[in-house]
Amino acid sequence: MTIYEGKDYKDLSKKAAEIIAAEIRINPGAVLGLATGSTPEGVYEQLVEWYEAGELDFSKVTSINLDEYKGLDGSHEQSYRHFMYQHFFDHVNIKKNRTFVPDGTEMNSEKACMEYEEIITQNGGIDLQILGLGANGHIGFNEPGEVFIPETHCVKLTQNTIDANSRFFESREEVPKEAYSMGIRGILQAKKIILMAVGKQKAQALYDALYGGISPEVPASILQLHPHVAVFADGEALTVVKENRP
C-alpha cells in the first residue's frame, strides 16, 4: 500500500488522475470502477481537461460504477448516473452503452443485484477501481456491519450516511434509505485500487482502514488484503495516521 499526500485537494486529485490516465494509455480498453460524491470530482475534472487537450481517449473504455440509490431514475438530479453524466460522461468520448450503473428503478432487489453481478463478470472484472472513504469507514455503500458482503447487494443506509447525503436533497426525508452497492468481492478483485480521503472528518476512518484490525465494522479495512492500493489524501485526512502510524 502506498500513501500519497497532496499539497491540497487539486494536487491530490491530479496525482490520482495521473494513475488513471496511465492505465488508459497502457490499456485503451480498460475497465474503470468509478465512484461518485464530492471526493472524486477533482479527478474527473482533471481527466476531462486532458481529454479536451487531446491527451486521452476514452472511446474503448468501459466504466462500472460502485452504487446507485434504490428508487431513483437515472435522470433524477441526485441519482449517481446523473452525477456521472454531469461530471464526466458528457464531457469525454466514452460510449454511453459501455457505462454501467446499478438500475435504481428496479425495485426487485434480488434481480437488480444479480444483473449487476453479471455485468461485472461479463466485462472481465475491473482493472482500476476508484474509491472514496466514508467517515464511518464505508466504501461504496458497503456500510459497517457484522459481516463483509461479497456480492452486489441492497443496503439499508445508516443514519450517518443519510445525514451526510442530506445536503444534496431539499430535506432529510427525501434522501433514499436504500441503495444498490457493488460488494466487497467485486472491489477486491480489481487489479488496482485508488482510495481517496479528504478532510479532517475522514482522519480516524483512514487510520482505522489502513492500520486497524480488518473488520466489517470498518469496511475499508478489507483493503489491507489487496496487493495494489494507492491512497491519495490531504494533510487533514492524514492527521491521525501521522500521529499514530506504526
Q: Name the active-site residue from 87, 138, 153, 208.
A: 138
Q: Is 226 a catalytic residue?
A: no
* Catalytic member of 23, 67, 208, 234: 67
Residue 234: active-site member: no
Write down the catalytic residue from 68, 143, 208, 234.
Answer: 143
- DSSP codes, the chain: -EEEEESSHHHHHHHHHHHHHHHHHH-TT-EEEE--SSTTHHHHHHHHHHHHTT----TT-EEEESEEETT--TTSTTSHHHHHHHHTGGGS---GGGEE---TT---HHHHHHHHHHHHHHTTS-SEEEEE--TTS-BTTB-S-SS---S-EEEE--HHHHHHHGGGSSSGGGS-SEEEE--HHHHHTSSEEEEEE-SGGGHHHHHHHHHS--BTTBGGGGGGG-S-EEEEEETTTTHHHHHH--
**Whether residue 136 lies in the annotated active site:** yes
Which residues are tagged catalytic? 67, 136, 138, 143
